[in-house]
Amino acid sequence: MPNSILPYQLVGKQGNTIETILYQSIQLLSKRGYSATSLQDIANACHIKKSSLFHYVRNKPQLVGQVLQSVRNHY
């Protein structure tokens, strides 16, 4: 089973914040689960402030929706 379920174009790409957010979200959500993963955890993994995260997503359910859409588009 591959390490990442993101499309190969998104893995390891530097400089694109939303792609980094999606990648880190998948990593954390798959390891910890929805309830145990906070937006602060995701921001920390992306090396950004939590307030900066809100420039890209409104809330956790929207972020998960974007993650699912990314996965759906890949497969």
Looking at 33-37, 40-44, 45-49, 69-73, which range is the least confident one?
69-73
Write out the DSSP string of 22-54: HHHHHHHHHHH-STT--HHHHHHHHTS-HHHHT
pTM here is: 0.77
Tell the burial category of 34 from Cβ atoms under 10 Å away from its Cβ (0-12, 13-18, 19+): exposed
**Alpha carbons 48 and 74: distance in angstroms, whole number:** 26
CATH class of the domain defined by 17-74:
mainly alpha
pLDDT tens column, 6-25: 444 444 445 589 999 999 99
Return the residue matching tokens 């993101």.
Answer: 6
